[in-house]
Amino acid sequence: MDVISVIRTKRDRGELSPEQIDWVIDAYTRGVVADEQMSALAMAILLNGMNRAEIKRWTAAMIASGERMNFDSLSRPTADKHSTGGVGDKITLPLAPLVAACGAAVPQLSGRGLGHTGGTLDKLESIPGWRALLSNEEMLHVLDTTGAVICAAGDGLAPADKKLYALRDVTGTVEAIPLIASSIMSKKIAEGTGSLVLDVKVGTGAFMKNIEDARELASTMVALGTDSGVKTIALLTDMSTPLGLTAGNALEIRESVEVLAGGGPSDVVELTLALAREMLDAAGIKDADPAKALADGSAMDVWRRMISAQGGDPDAALPVAREQHVVTAPSSGVLTRLDAYGVGVGAWRLGAGRARKEDPVQAGAGIELPAKPGDTVTAGQPLMTLHTDTPEKFEYALASLEGTYDIAPAGTAFSATPIVLDRIA
């Protein structure tokens, strides 16, 4: 085998053989295939696609590159959730402790930001002392004692994906459906969870811009999970507008804590509860009420134990950016559109994301959104507050926010898009 032949096969719209797939994944993991060569192959896959047999084999090769975990020692059934990524998508943060408070064990392996979308680990690392990297033994201990753990996949779990995930982020190949499906499902299958709920985002702020592509991705992942013995369900959810009122790392932590305290934006609460009910049902837990667990503080109790168990201080002050810039409404009326992609790129340019895989992120960077579509606004009212430690980034971020919102005359009728668009099982 040689990598040039593998690249040419996919470049010329051919089907990769099982032997080619096994070899290139193993060789890339071992460093025999260079980043620039895998970048070329990833771009060829983005442009020319893969069939189901190729995706299944690619996923199996990713799993085979490392170890597999097992949670049979736990007394609770396991349920996990994965989002394909969005803007303001902080759902994992309140969801994991909520589902744990209702009786399931939630082994949540999460990732860094990809492109314009935020990363759960980047958000949690804004909590002083919190650790994303746990050994398998530490992960199992936190899961057993608190009911939930959110951490990075260990070096031994699908190491091929860890390398490829970072590479896709900086080579314009994030949106490739075969690579998204195999990346997500290789980690989730290797992780060993008994059931999995997928939140497949649709809209301008998602990697899947239309519902047909989202259904294709969801169906591919549900099939991969089911074939591997993991009960897998997918919800297609709207990502044309940012979730909640914040996009950024520490900003989203604050908003998540508000949800756990029984408040928070209605769209974040609605989606958190919808996913919680799916996870509990998939885990076979029928008599728990996640809405009650939010209201009575039990989910918050799990959150505090979970953060403390990973070295974080749940009472510590969160980082605040040194500089702010306010974007105001140019006219009065009804806010009818707030584009998720523009807001996501703006937050990324302010420092909430990374341009290179080795770049740091700013914990306090991001955008606050005082108004959401459907709200009445007045001229001069704040529409967005930009946060960063580096004020020279404001101009670059503001350029991405041009044309991201529409204000219609007062009295204009507004109809909101449902958050949950479809369900695939």
- Catalytic entry in 22, 161, 169, 267: 161
- Catalytic entry in 82, 163, 215, 304: 82
Alpha-carbon torsion (188, 189, 190, 194), positive or negative = positive
b/e 295-331 (16+ beta carbons within 10 angstroms → b): eeebbbbbbbbbbbbbebebeeeebebebebebebee
Note whether 308 and 98 are within 8 A (CB).
no
CA atoms of 104 and 261, how far apart (whole Å): 20
- Catalytic entry in 168, 201, 231, 304: 168
Strand partners, 420: 237
b/e 42-74 (16+ beta carbons within 10 angstroms → b): bbbbbeeebeeebbbbbbbbbbbbbbebebeeb
Is 195 tagged catalytic? no
- Catalytic entry in 57, 187, 354, 387: 187
Is 187 tagged catalytic? yes
> Over the Cα atoms of the chain, what is R_g?
21
Residue written as token pair 């013995």: 229
Smallest CA-to-CA distance from 42 within 196, 203, 163 is with 163
Smallest CA-to-CA distance from 303 within 81, 98, 151 is with 98
End-to-end CA distance of the chain: 38
In 37-147, where do the E strands start and end?
79-83, 106-110
CA atoms of 310 and 97, how far apart (whole Å): 14
Is 141 tagged catalytic? no
Is 76 tagged catalytic? no
For 407, the 3-state DSSP assignment is strand
Is 349 tagged catalytic? no
- Catalytic entry in 65, 83, 182, 183: 183
| Residues recognised as catalytic | 82, 161, 168, 183, 187
